[in-house]
Amino acid sequence: MRVRTRSSAIIGTICLVASLALTTASADEPVAPRQAAKVTLKEVATARNPTAGTAGPGGTIWIAERAGTVRALGDQGLGEPVLDISGDTTTDGERGLLGVAFDKGFAHFYVSFTNLQGTSTVDEFAVRDGKIQPDTRRTVLTQTQPYANHNGGDIAFGPDGYLYIAFGDGGAGGDPHGNGQNLDTLLGKLLRIDPSGAKPYAIPPDNPFVDDPNAKDEIWAYGLRNPWRFSFDAGTGDLLIGDVGQSAWEEIDWAPASSKGGENYGWSRMEGNHPFRGGTEPANHVPPIHEYDRNGLGCSVTGGYVYRGTAIPDLRGQYVFSDYCDGTLRTLQMENGKVTGVGDLAVDGGSVVSFVQGGDGELYVLDLGGRVSRVDPA
């Protein structure tokens, strides 16, 4: 039995915890609640344990299924697999096919999965005329995993044209290897690479740690536990990360489009805004823009997207996210990286494992149980 809390659509103005050096403790002006968006979930397909998706060529949505297949959703529904790597992955622990992405112009398709040894792997395929070219497959990047959980695995191209890869801290519990704060490992990080710049990939010259011999050049941001889903705001270019908490606090992290990278999101010295197991707050800690505890709102945050579609005008500019354990679709209203209102859309997406943003900006919700739903106006 899942514990569920239905909050009112707009809880109202909230003030962020003002305990952090980066936060100015000013009395925020109250913000008038906006008209709550009225939505419904329109089931558009049933997939087999969908885990991730991305906008594809020709207005399609490409859906990754955990066991290793990818299928395209179009006007005729969900087609036969356009890719099958099920012989190269397993679904034990938190493993499987975990992320998919196209580069600009749909020239290449990328898959992020754990291989038969559990190693996180990002592979590339060339795409011609909207079709994957299987014989062009190559491995871009790998990362061995000490445990079967916290693989992260989401991938997406940023507005800068670089490929971002999210990796969890390696797993077990409490980050036993201290990977989150260790700049000499790719675990517990958000990476930024240029897969077209060299083989297997190039490092963007303005990555934040390229001049630090003790830090991996791929790192864009660090201090992450299990950044299961992240996205870029299609309107502003801002980065939003849903970082799954250990046992107490689920969080949403944020960086502006103008960021030069190098953000330290705190794990495992901090869980959300709270010192973790006696940890001290890093001086450069970037606190979450939003956190919630596990007293009813869920147990594992699923990051989503800032809505930039046209079908639901009242939802425009709001960040839509959910929780795997409580599939209520929730919203953040934001101004310049500050949350000015939290609410929910009063619809249940099931075991929400991921969101997908269509090429038209409309949002889809993936229920690991199979349902693929579009967020439609009610």
Alpha helix ranges (H) inside the chain:
none
Q: How far is the CB of 220 from Ca ion (least distance, A)?
A: 15
Q: Which CB atom, from 282 or from 361, has the smaller least distance to Ca ion?
A: 282
Q: Which CB atom, from 140 or from 219, has the smaller least distance to Ca ion?
A: 219
Scanning the structure block, which residue is given the tokens 């790998």? 142
Scanning the structure block, which residue is given the tokens 């830090």? 215
Tell whether residue 265 is a contact of Ca ion (CB under 5 A): yes
Closest CA to 118 of 144, 139, 142: 144
The dihedral region occupied by 113, where left means phi > 0, alpha psi between -120 and 50, and beta the remainder, is beta
At a CB cut-off of 8 Å and minimum separation 6, what does 263 contact? 221, 222, 223, 253, 255, 286
Q: Which CB atom, from 171 or from 266, has the smaller least distance to Ca ion?
A: 266
Q: Which CB atom, from 266 or from 327, has the smaller least distance to Ca ion?
A: 266
Closest CA to 189 of 214, 162, 168: 168
Binding part of the chain for Ca ion, among 73-81, 88-96, 259-267, 370-378 by CB under 5 A, reads 259-267
Binding part of the chain for Ca ion, among 29-37, 172-180, 263-271, 352-360 by CB under 5 A, reads 263-271
Q: Which CB atom, from 265 or from 364, has the smaller least distance to Ca ion?
A: 265
Closest CA to 93 of 146, 34, 41, 164: 146
Scanning the structure block, which residue is given the tokens 């599939």? 327
Q: How far is the CB of 301 from Ca ion (least distance, A)?
A: 11
The count of residues interacting with Ca ion (CB under 5 A) is 2
Separation between Cα atoms, residue 19 and residue 288, nearest integer Å: 12
Q: Which CB atom, from 68 or from 303, has the smaller least distance to Ca ion?
A: 303
Instruction: Name the closest residue to Ca ion (Cβ).
Output: 266
Distances from the Cα of 191 to the Cα of 132, 144, 349, angstroms: 25, 15, 29
Scanning the structure block, which residue is given the tokens 């992955």? 89
Q: How far is the CB of 339 from Ca ion (least distance, A)?
A: 15
Q: How far is the CB of 314 from Ca ion (least distance, A)?
A: 30
Site string for Ca ion, 207-246 (x = CB under 5 A): ----------------------------------------
Q: How far is the CB of 251 from Ca ion (least distance, A)?
A: 5
* Contact residue for Ca ion among 266, 304, 341, 358 (CB under 5 A): 266
Looking at the DSSP bridge assignments, the partners of residue 72 are 62
Footprint of Ca ion on this chain (CB under 5 A)? 265-266
